[in-house]
Amino acid sequence: MIEQSGQTLDTERRSALLRTAMRLSMQDLPVIPLWARPLVYGLRNDVEWQPRPDGRPDGRDMRRRVR
């Protein structure tokens, strides 16, 4: 479409080709995280807890460590 737009003299047709090409390219863009916020947690020594994959702390996942 981009090559075709370069060969088209009709400005309306060229604009339509470029809009279509832009729309298609935006639909195919991959999402690549360039930065991830580090998650830091603090626990007491008598608490056992494993963070969830989504990073949200949930008190129901915490257990008292038995010594």
pLDDT at 1: 87
**pTM (predicted TM-score):** 0.42
Query: 55's torsion region: left (phi>0), alpha (psi -120 to 50) or beta?
Result: left
Amino acid at 23: R
CA distances from 18 to 22, 27, 28, 49, 61 (A): 6, 14, 15, 53, 52
pLDDT at 10: 93
Confidence label for 19 from pLDDT (cuts 50, 70 and 90):
very high
Amino acid at 10: D
pLDDT at 33: 64
pLDDT in tens, 22-63: 888 888 777 666 777 788 888 899 999 988 888 888 889 999
